[in-house]
Structure 1
Amino acid sequence: MSSFYELVPDASNLIESQRSVGYTFETAVADIIDNSVSAAATRIDINFDSQKKYVSILDDGKGMSESELLKAMKYGSKSIFDIRDQEDLGRFGLGLKMASFSQCRKLTVVSIKESEFAGAIWDLDVIKEKNAWIVQVLDDEEIKSTINFSELALLNSGTIVIWEKFDKLEQSANFCSNFEEVLEKTENHLSLVFHRFLQEDQLRIFFNQRSIDFVDPFFVNNKATQPKSSDVIFETTRNARVDVKPYIVPYQKRLTQKERHILKKYEHNKLGPGLYIYRNRRLIAWGKWFRLVRTNELANLAKIQIDIPNTIDDLWEIDVKKSQLNIPTSLRTQLRNIIMKSIGESERVYRYRGTKRNKDDLQYVFDRVEKDNKVAYYLNMDNPLIKQLQDNLSDVDIAIFTTLLKQIEEHLPLDSIQYDLASNKEIKKNEDTDDEVYEEIMLLLKNQTTEKSKKVLLNSLKYSEVYSKKTALLVRIERELNG
């Protein structure tokens, strides 16, 4: 007769194997903040010190008793089959532990609720030594000696999460530099994924006492942004409502200086056209179309906000990091119809500008544009010189600069040029010397803040009408950059 035998997972091996589940530093911190938002926090303080090597995340949420805290510290503390509160941002009951251990080896959690403090520590080195699921429960004196306890003690309720022993970051020769870099990425990430909470003043997030700002991917405060009519679709098997709100965003010439800075700063975050999917108003995936439409059908200006509830996480196949998903088959057709309608409106906006007819891969100083059987010449706004000026000018100066460019475009002496060409007159070209071109390029590179951005810019100059023939000079500068 068969029997049942309980196989308890090896504690150290299981936790160590899950440390590479795919979190980045910024997505791990965002997962901790999900818990704070679920606990009705209105303020979150993220404090860090590269010398003392810690990160603490303090919230003013509802806090936890000792029994609640120990349950939260347990792996799989909440079933995916549990009915969750409508505002709950959690998923598997794993986020606190897996997110933390993906970045550090020591996790401390201290909480206050109804004037009672509770605290506990997971330390992977202790787990490895004992090979057991051992958590250290702190006494009152140990709680008072935890990092930044004094800030928690000022609250009526709240929780502080502390990360220490950053073994992965400490593998680098320059811990401080890497630590500061991942914290900068984290600030950028939180500004984006929690932007609706920040935008609506429902949440404030501070980095070492400095308030962070929100990043709105739709630029709703720009008068040129076109919000389109909202749609609602239903997942019929669960009777779950999905809200869809398309936006047609402005093209670059109509963005403010701040908005252009945002696009440049968040270039690696891919704030381009596509779906922006929110789970309980928290952004979890963005900037792509999830194979709902072919790439060649897409326009440059359509962004579609999709709000899904937490009751259909399994249908969307949302992972433990809450950063990857798949669109349910039952919704794909409805979503595709909405997308195609929005793309059509985006294309009409974009095509109104005319159709470029430059045939090769060079970046020209002027774009030749056909529209309504007429030809016009516009300055190429992707010119590195123009882009750098726009990035460094105030909005008032940009308005003046844009007026100047418009005057140049509208008052090209085309009739005179056409007459001179028809008369076979030679048009004089003023060509700069290599030394002059060298100085121009070095001036451009000087305004780049990182070595990577300098190399990216230098590579783009190879395809510039102005510099493409200066191959030897570009090679020389590339060698200088590479040391």
Structure 2
Amino acid sequence: MTEHIVREVDATPYAASLIEGHRDFGYNLETALADIIDNAITAEARTVELIADTVAEEPWIALADDGSGMTETELVEAMRLGSKDPTDEREAEDLGRFGLGLKSASFSQCRSLTVLTRQDGRTSCARWDLDRVAKRNDWCLELIDNPEVVTGHDLLTETGTVVIWENLDRLSGGYTHDRAKRAEHMNSELSRAEHHLRLVFHRFLEGAKPRLKLSLNGRQLTPNDPMATSHAATQKDPEEVLRLRQGDVLIRCHTLPHHKRMSREEWEEIGGPEGHLKSQGLYVYREKRLIIAGGWLGLARQTELTKLCRIAVDIPNTMDAEWKIDVKKASAQLPPVVRERLKKVVERFVGTSKRTYRSRGQKLVDETRFPIWNRVQKDGQIVFRPNLEHPVFRTYSDQLPEELREGFERCLRIVGSGLPIETLHAELVGNAEAVTADETSATDLEELVYSLAVTLMENGVPSEALSDTMQSNPFLRLRWEAAAPILEDFLRTRIS
């Protein structure tokens, strides 16, 4: 067999083109900041300060940590693109992946990346300036011998690292010449990033002695636990362990409390900017760091009745290849063996959330409790009709002349057939917690209590049991503070 004749030629990538390409890995501000914080955690930092000067003529952002710091040799290696082999075995606390995060995350937001670091009393400083690389088209990293003049030098602790972003061309929002609007836009982006960081690193921020303290412009950030594990009403299933050759996958299902059992602030906080409908589903953690926040990854549909379902899935960093963890650690794919197990878990679990909602709805259709609306199955569909036998309706109908009763009942039926189903569905899907019943006037409530009390007593309910029986009606239970005095007045009048 004839051997190939091989010649070698230099095919070194053009520095200017390749380094510009590293700006477009799909990072946004929040994922870029998270990647820098990953490095700080890997360096065993206990404190990370995020400082942002958005009002300066030349805005800048710095992240300062008190981790182990680096020697100059280690700094140069850290600034090298692709400084780590993703197949290398890592320590359990190592949140890195490709050795690209520091550079690609930073380049996605700025054109000048400077890193200050101090170890054993020696300070080192290096910079990538994309404009300089574009002009020279080479891979020469700048080493700065007088770091005390660099922005952010005052943030450097006795041991630690400061990452400084300058020339924030992608954070200006297009307001290059309008400092006020530019600052407003940057502050808005930082606000979104703050929510993301509190969520992604919530396990590091939790507890009386947290693993990490994270602050933004001097304000300490609090954790945002998407599982609401500390809430007394959260339902937690036992942890399941899937043992694989590359490590253990831990699975734990949580059913969030119904929104009526949480404060409005708690409910909105845990739902996040997109709300509970979008935030239901799988929460995948890699070494306690959240990488996927919500969504079912094709295992289930997002519905209103499953929006309380959240499943925490913990994986080790030894499974990165199988999960196809991306550069910015913000997406992954389920390995087939994990998908099969999770599919069974999800099918069993989503019923928990549905029961939480349906347990409230079923009481409304219990005929023994005189519902205002009846739930009727008709030709495979579900319709709701006013209950013409409700005591209030029946009492009023009996008081009408006989020739008017049919017209009254026709009006009730028209109200039922005119329910704005599509509008209700849109409101419930988009913002169910804001949909509520209209207020009832005192006169109408009094009429309801009197009519219902009379009907119950005519059906054999003793007077001493009226209170408990009437409170089983959801409508009255929610208004019992106002209804109770009306019932007491009715009983006094009845007895006298």
Which TM-score bucket, shorter chain as reference? Answer: 0.7 to 0.9
Residue number in structure 2 paired with 1:266: 273
AA partner of residue 319 (structure 1): D
Residue 122 of structure 1 aligns to a residue in which SS?
A: strand
Q: 1:30 aligns with which of 25, 34, 37?
A: 34
Residue 353 of structure 2 aligns to a residue in which SS?
A: helix
Mean Cα displacement is larger for which, 180-189 or 270-279?
270-279
Give yes or no for the alignment of 1:59 onto 2:65: yes
Q: 2:215 aligns with which of 202, 206, 213?
A: 206
Residue 170 of structure 1 aligns to a residue in which SS?
A: coil
Residue number in structure 2 paired with 1:151: 155
AA partner of residue 113 (structure 1): Q
Q: Which runs of 5+ in 1 are unaligned?
A: 356-367, 379-412, 428-455, 467-483
Change (3 A) 1:225 1:280: same
Residue number in structure 1 paired with 2:239: 230
Tell which structure's C-alpha radius of gyration is larger.
Answer: 2
Q: Deviations over 1:76-95 (max 9, x none)?
A: 00001111111111010000
Give yes or no for the alignment of 1:113 onto 2:113: no
Change (3 A) 1:24 1:296: closer
Residue number in structure 2 paired with 1:420: 396
Residue 114 of structure 2 aligns to a residue in which SS?
A: strand
Residue number in structure 1 paired with 2:74: 68
Residues in 1 aligned to 2:372 and 2:220: alpha-carbon distance in whole angstroms: 45
Q: Deviations over 1:435-471 (max 9, x none)?
A: xxxxxxxxxxxxxxxxxxxxx99xx99x9998xxxxx
Residue number in structure 1 paired with 2:197: 190
Residue 162 of structure 1 aligns to a residue in which SS?
A: strand
Note the 1:234-245 alignment, pairs <5 A.
234-236=243-245, 238=246, 240-245=247-252
Residue 311 of structure 1 aligns to a residue in which SS?
A: helix
User: How far apart are residue 260 of structure 1 and its match?
Assistant: 2.2
Residue number in structure 2 paired with 1:16: 20
Residue number in structure 2 paired with 1:91: 97
User: How far apart are residue 373 of structure 1 and its match?
Assistant: 7.6
Residue 277 of structure 1 aligns to a residue in which SS?
A: strand
Q: Does the Cα contact within 8 Å between 1:61 and 1:158 map onto a contact in 2?
A: yes
Residue number in structure 1 paired with 2:225: 216
Paired positions, count = 383
Q: Deviations over 1:140-179 (max 9, x none)?
A: x2x1111221221xx2310000000011233512311111
Q: Does the Cα contact within 8 Å between 1:235 and 1:331 map onto a contact in 2?
A: no
Give yes or no for the alignment of 1:135 onto 2:141: yes
Q: Does the Cα contact within 8 Å between 1:111 and 1:157 map onto a contact in 2?
A: yes
Residue 364 of structure 2 aligns to a residue in which SS?
A: strand
Residue 103 of structure 1 aligns to a residue in which SS?
A: coil
Residue 288 of structure 1 aligns to a residue in which SS?
A: coil
Give yes or no for the alignment of 1:179 onto 2:186: yes
Residues in 1 aligned to 2:305 and 2:393: alpha-carbon distance in whole angstroms: 38
Residues in 2 aligned to 1:294 and 1:80: alpha-carbon distance in whole angstroms: 33
Q: Deviations over 1:56-96 (max 9, x none)?
A: 00001111000001000000000011111111110100000
Residue 304 of structure 1 aligns to a residue in which SS?
A: strand
Change (3 A) 1:34 1:295: same
User: How far apart are residue 257 of structure 1 and its match?
Assistant: 3.3
Give yes or no for the alignment of 1:350 onto 2:360: no
Residue number in structure 1 paired with 2:300: 293
Change (3 A) 1:417 1:203: same
Mean Cα displacement is larger for which, 338-347 or 51-60?
338-347
User: How far apart are residue 247 of structure 1 and its match?
Assistant: 0.6
RMSD value over aligned CA atoms? 2.7
Residues in 2 aligned to 1:288 and 1:159: alpha-carbon distance in whole angstroms: 35
User: How far apart are residue 335 of structure 1 and its match?
Assistant: 1.4
Change (3 A) 1:372 1:293: farther
Q: Does the Cα contact within 8 Å between 2:370 and 2:390 map onto a contact in 1?
A: no
Q: Which runs of 5+ in 2 are unaligned?
A: 176-180, 374-388, 409-429, 439-496
Change (3 A) 1:422 1:101: farther
Change (3 A) 1:167 1:272: closer
Residue number in structure 1 paired with 2:386: none
Change (3 A) 1:115 1:338: same
